[in-house]
Structure 1
Amino acid sequence: MSKLNKDILFLIFEELKDDKDSLFSSILVNKNWCEVAIPILWKDPWKNLIKERLLLETVVSFLTNESRDYMISHGLNLLIKPDKLPLFNYISFCRYLNLHKLERIIYTIRNIKEEIKWSMISEEIFKLFINKNNRFTHLIIPYGYKRQIQYLSGFEHCFSELESLRCDVKTNQGFLNGLAQVCKSIKKLVVNVRVINKPGIIDLIEAQTKLEDVRFVFDLMTRRIDDILFYRICGKSLVKRANTIRHLQVNNELIPNLSSYVNLISLEIGTHEHNASWNNLENVSLPSLRILKAHKVPTNILVNFIENNKGILLEIKISDISFEVHTKKLIQAIYNNCPNLQYLELIINDDDILELENLLINCKHLDGLILNVFNINTDEMGWDRLFEILIKRASKNLFKFKFIHRTTIKFEALKNFFENWKNRKPMLLHFIEMFHLSSKHLSLIESFKKKGIIKIFYHDKFSYGFDDFEWIKMR
């Protein structure tokens, strides 16, 4: 095993890229293993970063004598010169640059009060990353970032092959304009939209030729009137890239021409406006669409959209809808038009439980089900009926469940659910709730884990550790 050639080792270690403990152990085997594992470990040194000070010490060990002499001449003799040079040029292996975490490790340096000295140290450390010897494929820019790194020597070389960018519309506009001049092949773009929207991001979108995954993450608490103009202009830039975009997460106002996105595979759409217009979703058919996530989209609009995309949807997530409009019709639209559905998140109340039974009968390929239980009366038979239907109608494929609930789950109903799950595939179970699972409930769950009825169980309040249709692997 220790004599495997480097190509084989690379393939093996790439599979272990998220398992840092195993990779760290690998570098101790022999020289070949070490030479293959080190670049993978340093590809993204910011991921799951815990020992910030240790990373800083490694980084500053690459400071040149010229940089050290320059800082010493300005009264900064705090960065200890290593006894010997590092074995590898670790920084050259970095393909991910997280500017937020880079700034954080710099600020682990203590006892500096003058801003000019902070600026001096930061500039010298940034030069270790931004130069003609490094290339980055992934870049994260934090909120309101103001540093003008586009003027550093080697900026164009560093970011000319950028594939993924996460930034903010309020990011320094000079920086965004610099990226627009250099980066033409970004595939994934994640944009945080805040109160003050500026045009730099629009120029960046216009410059791209390979956009595949575009996500606008909105601050739903704030909005200005002039945002409408920003959305309109930005939407026009996006639609020019419609043929290449496969994944889209947007505010409704950003996509006036949704039908142009003919190659779209996943769509996440929502709004924070109560009186938003949804004409752009009416009578739209997207032949490649497989994933739909909707937030605050009226149920009648969703019904129309699902009917127009009959037979192709594999995942549906519906959140924050109003129950006064056609809730049952929405569930009916899903089970009448989505026979191949594999994952579903749905809001239900007492009146929808019987329609849930019809859904389970018609959607035989369901693998995972998330039920946002909006209003089930604990003192009546709501929970009993819900679990009875799951036992009776769940196909053999269905064994992954999440329950998002605001009322206490009836203990006897839950116990009966577990007892009648025998001879089925052990379930993956996740409860997301606010103070409604007692120690008695948790003990019951643990007892059925020991019996093999439940394979994995998670219990939290907000599900921050998981993606939507994810039951095991935490982010």
Structure 2
Amino acid sequence: MVHVSIMPCINKRKFKNFYQSVTMKYSDCGNKPDEELCCLSRIIVNLFSNQTKTFTKLRVPPLPTECMQQILQHIADQGVGSLYPCLLVNRFWCNNVIPFLWARPFEGQLPPENRYKFMLIYLASLTTQEKTTLNNYLMPYNISIPDLDRPLYNYPMFLEEFSYKNVETAVYSCICRWNTEEFVARNREDQILVLASTLCQLFMRNSTSLKTFIIDKFLNHSDLPDCFIFNSGQPGLRNISNLSIDCTKPMMENTIRLLELIPSLCKKIRCLEVKILFFENNTDIIQAIIKIIRAQESLTEFNLDGVRSGESSDIIQALQCQSLTITTIKFENVDFTADSLRSLAVCRQLRNLSLLYYRGLTMESSSTSSSGEGRGTGSIWSQIKFDLRKLRLKNSTKSPLISAALIRAAGEHLTCLSYDVITRETIEATTLYCPNITELELLDYLPHHNSLVYLLFRGLHQIKRLTISVYHNNSNRYMIISGRELPTTLEYLKLQCGLTSIQLEDLLKDCMAPLKVLILDFIKFEHSDLKVITKFVKARRTLRYLGISGRIAWNVRETNELEALKKRGVILIPWYEIEKW
């Protein structure tokens, strides 16, 4: 048994000395940011999870709250399940862990029994009057809320992200335990709405930490609670900074009313995300979105998925009101014209632009007359000028001229570029108009692109990060690219394809670039691939981080190979962190 005695709280100077001693001891973690904090986190967690040693008396000095929260945040990023043992250390640890566990309790694929448990905790947080009223509403459905003791913590207060779809899912798991499947199926929407309305009222009244609000649905024909619930509680939605609206399912009356109410409630939204079915645009929804955009004080990020050209033009016009603050825009499955793109260029603070599967763009000006075919062609594109740092293109029409025109419009300060149309036009536009590229992603790579990519690498002299993606059907056909052709400035290489061990060896043996990070997203990764990497590490001695997607467990031979790489200073990136690299 571990006996814990608490020392008086140490000051920050003492903790700093303790922290520095730990980071010096574990300095072999490399130079990646927060690695020292990661080591410290592991030390503390392992200290209390180690079951092989017996401590007669263990003194645990409470850390400053700010330091404690940073450590817990690092652990939470690896999965909140890692935090549960920390609840049992002492009251100070428990008080710091609880907000992390209840910030996003609906996240992940929770089993029904877990959804049921935390739903009971929320229902126990209701007032006596609310429980009585709720039981009266549920009486026709033969449901009665259990008599529960009030929790020790105000759990709704810690909620940071609200998704109505997740609330519906959790409520549904409860009513399935309380009634037969046949009865639930007949009255499903009504029962869910009663319970969800009560929970929404609870959250709007207590959730002082609420930052993200997601309007989505679990059932096709369900509706949100009355918008009065979202308007009456304090602070309610007034402090949210992230709003996501999913209109891919039928929009009911209460949902549309809430969208119309949001402009008067929410003025501090910084990130707005909207998803609409492309062929089912609703005028009321489009107008509500436009009003939401115009009502914000400092919108910085906007994502739009699925809007036709007429509606997208109106939305882009509204975005001009945020031209002084908006920095990131993503359009996906959006139909718009070059005129709309020119209007978007008014946003002078725009730095990150993503155009994915876009439609409607042509090289001809919209003002070109039918009698003067070709007259004015391309003139509007000369007026489109951005000052971007990052541009992502996925062209649904695979038009090289459109992609090249967008690259030319990006501006000379562009440093990150991603596109899937690899032609002479796009290569020339990249090398001539965007010479400062340091991060390049080539999508839909094909064998015949090799000669073009050689020209691209010769024209760009500052590339440090390179990602090459190959569709599954084209994998393993030919060598993707020769190692001797890779930029000599390259420090990061990510291969999303399926090379054989021989192809991988041919790539790495001639690679003269000082690679520090290598990430392999292979369809099938084998032990022979690890041996190729070990050979490269021995020869070049520059690799520090290795990431292998999709692999959680390793056999004995692979484990031995990884241990050999570790001895040579190579750190294996955990599979759950690869997406962050």
TM-score tier, shorter chain, comes to 0.7 to 0.9
User: What is the DSSP-based 3-state SS (H/G/I as helix, E as strand, rest coil) of the residue aligned with 1:27?
Assistant: helix
Give the C-alpha shift of residue 95 in structure 1. Answer: 1.9
Cα distance 1:241–1:41, how it changes in 2: closer, same or farther (>3 A)? Answer: same
- The counterpart of 2:77, out of the listed 18, 31, 39, is 18
In 2, the alpha carbon distance for the partners of 1:33 and 1:118 equals: 36
User: Does the 8 Å contact 2:486/2:511 carry over to 1?
Assistant: no
In 2, the alpha carbon distance for the partners of 1:422 and 1:54 equals: 57
Q: Are positions 1:357 and 2:439 aligned together?
A: no
Q: Are positions 1:61 and 2:124 aligned together?
A: yes
**Partner of residue 223, structure 2:** 146
User: Does the 8 Å contact 1:160/1:183 carry over to 2?
Assistant: yes
Give the C-alpha shift of residue 187 in structure 1. Answer: 0.5
1:245-394 equivalences in 2 (<5 Å): 245-250=326-331, 251=334, 253=336, 255-273=341-359, 276=362, 281-287=381-387, 289-296=388-395, 298-319=399-420, 321=421, 327-346=423-442, 347-373=444-470, 382-383=478-479, 386-388=480-482, 390-394=483-487
User: What is the DSSP-based 3-state SS (H/G/I as helix, E as strand, rest coil) of the residue aligned with 1:107?
Assistant: helix
- The counterpart of 1:105, out of the listed 153, 161, 170, is 170
Q: Are positions 1:191 and 2:279 aligned together?
A: no
In 1, the alpha carbon distance for the partners of 2:211 and 2:234 equals: 13
**Partner of residue 295, structure 2:** 207
CA deviation vs aligned residue, 1:86-111 (integer Å, no higher than 9, x gap): 22101111121111111110000221
Cα distance 1:353–1:260, how it changes in 2: closer, same or farther (>3 A)? Answer: same
Q: Are positions 1:3 and 2:62 aligned together?
A: yes
Cα distance 1:370–1:6, how it changes in 2: closer, same or farther (>3 A)? Answer: closer
User: What is the DSSP-based 3-state SS (H/G/I as helix, E as strand, rest coil) of the residue aligned with 1:257?
Assistant: helix
**Partner of residue 463, structure 1:** none
Q: Are positions 1:240 and 2:340 aligned together?
A: no
In 2, the alpha carbon distance for the partners of 1:208 and 1:300 equals: 36
CA deviation vs aligned residue, 1:223-255 (integer Å, no higher than 9, x gap): 7xxx44322322221222222110011235254
In 1, the alpha carbon distance for the partners of 2:88 and 2:475 equals: 59
**Partner of residue 23, structure 2:** none
**Partner of residue 465, structure 1:** none
In 2, the alpha carbon distance for the partners of 1:313 and 1:358 equals: 19
In 1, the alpha carbon distance for the partners of 2:393 and 2:312 equals: 19
User: What is the DSSP-based 3-state SS (H/G/I as helix, E as strand, rest coil) of the residue aligned with 2:88?
Assistant: coil
Cα distance 1:4–1:474, how it changes in 2: closer, same or farther (>3 A)? Answer: closer
**Partner of residue 174, structure 1:** 257
User: Does the 8 Å contact 2:489/2:513 carry over to 1?
Assistant: no
User: Does the 8 Å contact 2:335/2:358 carry over to 1?
Assistant: no
Cα distance 1:2–1:361, how it changes in 2: closer, same or farther (>3 A)? Answer: farther
In 1, the alpha carbon distance for the partners of 2:315 and 2:452 equals: 40
User: What is the DSSP-based 3-state SS (H/G/I as helix, E as strand, rest coil) of the residue aligned with 1:412?
Assistant: helix
User: Does the 8 Å contact 1:2/1:30 carry over to 2?
Assistant: no
Select between 242-251 and 340-349 the one with higher mean Cα deviation: 340-349
In 2, the alpha carbon distance for the partners of 1:472 and 1:271 equals: 26
Give the C-alpha shift of residue 309 in structure 1. Answer: 4.3
* AA in 2 matched with 1:398: E
User: Does the 8 Å contact 2:312/2:335 carry over to 1?
Assistant: no
Q: Are positions 1:447 and 2:540 aligned together?
A: no
**Partner of residue 91, structure 1:** 156
Give the C-alpha shift of residue 422 in structure 1. Answer: 9.1
TM-score (norm 2): 0.67
CA deviation vs aligned residue, 1:198-218 (integer Å, no higher than 9, x gap): 322122112112111000022
From the two aligned structures, give the one with the greater helix fraction.
Answer: 2
Q: Following TM superposition, where does structure 1 have runs of at least 4 consecutive aligned residues deviating by more than 6 angstroms?
A: 374-379
Give the C-alpha shift of residue 445 in structure 1. Answer: 1.9
Give the C-alpha shift of residue 164 in structure 1. Answer: 0.4
* AA in 2 matched with 1:269: L
**Partner of residue 372, structure 2:** none
Cα distance 1:14–1:373, how it changes in 2: closer, same or farther (>3 A)? Answer: closer
- Superposed CA RMSD in Å reads 3.4
* AA in 2 matched with 1:472: I
Q: Are positions 1:399 and 2:496 aligned together?
A: no
Give the C-alpha shift of residue 442 in structure 1. Answer: 3.1
Give the C-alpha shift of residue 284 in structure 1. Answer: 2.4
User: What is the DSSP-based 3-state SS (H/G/I as helix, E as strand, rest coil) of the residue aligned with 2:311?
Assistant: helix
* AA in 2 matched with 1:123: S
Unaligned runs of 5+ in 1: 461-469
User: What is the DSSP-based 3-state SS (H/G/I as helix, E as strand, rest coil) of the residue aligned with 1:4?
Assistant: coil
Percent identity for Structure 1 against Structure 2: 17
In 2, the alpha carbon distance for the partners of 1:285 and 1:179 equals: 33
In 1, the alpha carbon distance for the partners of 2:434 and 2:305 equals: 28
Give the C-alpha shift of residue 418 in structure 1. Answer: 4.0
- The counterpart of 1:159, out of the listed 237, 260, 270, is 237
In 1, the alpha carbon distance for the partners of 2:441 and 2:431 equals: 13
CA deviation vs aligned residue, 1:66-91 (integer Å, no higher than 9, x gap): 23333444535543223x43221011
Give the C-alpha shift of residue 265 in structure 1. Answer: 0.8
In 1, the alpha carbon distance for the partners of 2:289 and 2:513 equals: 54
- Matched positions, count: 438
